[in-house]
Amino acid sequence: MRQLIRDVPDFPEPGVVFKDITPLLADHAAFTEVVSALADAGRDADGTVVVDKVAGMEARGFILAAPVALALGTGFVPVRKAGKLPGATHAVSYALEYGEATLEVHRDSIDPGDRVLLVDDVLATGGTADATRRLVELCGGTVHAFAVLMELSFLSGRDAIDGLPLHSLQTV
C-alpha cells in the first residue's frame, strides 16, 4: 500500500506534500484490500456488522466510503461542502489554517439511533472528522469509529477527534 501512495511536493501550494492515492485506486488488488480493511472498523470481533451507515467526507472520502458501505451492507451518506446538497441540511463550520469551511449532510440521511462509521482518506488536523461527527450527532446518530487510509501524526488530528476510536491503515 505504501508503495502505491505517492508524495507530490508543493501541491496544492508550496511547502505542502500531497499524498496522492490515485495509483492505489488504480490497482484492483490494493484497492480491494484497502476497502476490506476499512470495513473491518464497522464490524465487531466476530465479524458482525455493528454500524447502520457509512459517512464519507468530500471528496476523496467518497471514493473509499461508498465501497466500504457496500462491503458492510449499509447505506452511504455523503458529507458535502456547503451548498452542494439539494435537500434540507444540517451544517457545521470549522476552522482551517487559512480560514473557515462548512460541511453539510441531509437531515434525513441518518436516523436517530443510527450507528455511523466515518471514512476518509487522511486524518490531518482532524477538523473535517470532528465536524462530521457533529453532523451525525445533529441527525441523532452516534459515531461508532473513524476509519482512514492514512493518519498524518505530525498534525495531531487525533486530538481533535477526542476519544473517537480511530482505525488507520497507515501512520506517517
Report whether pLDDT(63) > 70.
yes
Report residue 21 CA to chain centroid gap: 14
Is 115 a known active-site residue?
no
| Residue tagged active-site, from 2, 13, 97, 100 | 97
Is 134 a known active-site residue?
no
Question: What CATH number corresponds to the domain at position 59?
Answer: 3.40.50.2020
Q: Return the number of other C-beta atoms located less than 10 Å from residue 93's C-beta.
A: 13
The answer to pTM > 0.85 is yes
Q: What pLDDT, on a 0 to 100 scale, did the predictor assign at position 13?
A: 86
Which pLDDT band holds residue 96 (cuts at 50, 70, 90)? confident
| Residue tagged active-site, from 60, 107, 134, 137 | 60
Report whether pLDDT(98) > 90.
no
State the total domains in the chain: 1
Which pLDDT band holds residue 97 (cuts at 50, 70, 90)? low
Q: What single-letter DSSP state applies at residue 114?
A: -
Instruction: Please choose, from the candidates 82, 66, 63, 162, the residue with its C-alpha nearest in 3D space to the C-alpha of residue 121.
Output: 63
Helix, strand or coil for residue 85? coil
The pLDDT tens digits of the residues spanning 5-14 come to 999 999 988 9
Return the percentage of the chain with pLDDT > 70, whole number.
99
CA 51, CA 77: separation in Å to the nearest integer? Answer: 12
Find residue 147's DSSP bridge partners.
119, 167
What range does the domain containing 63 cover? 2-168
